[in-house]
Amino acid sequence: MAQQLTLIILWIVIYSYMIAASIDFGTGFYLFYGQQIRHWDYLYAPLQSWLSPLSEVMNICFVLLFAAVLSLSPEIILNFQTPLVFCGILAIVLTVAKGTFYALAELLTNRKKTKSIFLAGNGVIGVFIPAVLSIVLVISEGGFSDDGTGNIHLFILHMFSNFYFWCVMIIAVVSIFYISAMYLVHFASVSGNPALAAHFRNVALFWSMPTVLASGMVFLGLEQQNPEHFMRTLDASWLFMLSLVCLLGSVTLVFLKRYKSFFILVMMQYFFALIGYTLSHFPYLIYPDIVMDQHLADWAQSGWFLIIVLVAAPPSLAAFLAIRLRTVLRSEALRKTDDK
């Protein structure tokens, strides 16, 4: 029972972080782009209220949890220490750097030129953190056993020449821009800012097509990297089809300017995609070397795992985002009152 509970909690945390972090990283990048590149301070100023130290704490906690989970399996650490140490150290360095840039940008409010540099660092680095963490997905598909304890330079060369690696990097970055743009439409609509909602409506619609294309590229890369896993994804194709239906539904609602509750479809889009990938990947943790406990794998593929995370994950994420949005709107209202 303890193993099942651990698997459920871990999956919910990964799913929730994927969405919440994408919103934060994308917002940070859009804030930098809008204020420093396009100089639309009046339009992008509300985005500043969404960014908070909570985001940086969340990033650090997830990276540490990520490292702790990997360390629980001596077999993984022993056989794949080179790629995992590379990913772990790089993720920690980028997370600390992003947090530092954010803190300095908040402190140096009177120095515009210096602040713009730190805003750029905070925005750009945030885009790379999910990409670095996604390297683990590439490693899990196999083909890197020879690099497990080898030279770090050979591993990097092997990784950069891998087609599936670039597919995963593209979908990771595109998803940040797509998820955050979609959420900022919701944020602007709820906060009563039609100009911001109209702007990010165009941005969200722009990123919807690259999201579909990048998703297709991932399947092409997976077929080349790991044909066995690709065939197993076909067995779970109904989950990926549901993900596509949710994407089309959310994009249609945004196109029609029906902003009420459309972001739930975005959450479900990534829920079905992630659960489809997860179930098709079991029982392997890393192809073909590391296999999870057979009893746990059988339980996860029995249907109970899908039902439990379906009931628990999206509502938990929705509650977290709703509480945070309410806090941001309340803080913004108090700030406007004080300014008057």
Could you tell me which residues come within 8 angstroms of residue 77 by beta carbon, excluding any fewer than 6 positions away?
70, 71, 84
pLDDT surpasses 60 at 337: yes
292: left (phi over 0), alpha (psi -120 to 50) or beta: beta
pLDDT surpasses 70 at 331: yes
Mean pLDDT across the stretch 63-78? 68
pLDDT category of residue 104 using cuts at 50, 70 and 90: confident
Q: So what's the pLDDT on residue 73?
A: 66
Cis peptide before 210 (omega within 30 of 0): no
CA distance 290 to 298: 16
Q: So what's the pLDDT on residue 173?
A: 95
Length of the chain: 340
Q: What is the DSSP string of 173-229?
A: HHHHHHHHHHHHHHHHHHTT-HHHHHHHHHHHHHHHHHHHHHHHHHHHHHHHH-HHH
Give me the percent of the chain exceeding a pLDDT of 70.
91
Q: Of the given ranges (49-58, 72-81, 89-98), which has the lowest mean pLDDT?
A: 72-81
CB 324 within 8 A of CB 332: no
pLDDT surpasses 90 at 182: yes
pLDDT surpasses 60 at 339: no
* Whole-prediction pTM: 0.93
Q: So what's the pLDDT on residue 157?
A: 87
Q: So what's the pLDDT on residue 109?
A: 64
Give me the percent of the chain exceeding a pLDDT of 90.
48
Biggest alpha carbon–alpha carbon distance for the chain: 65
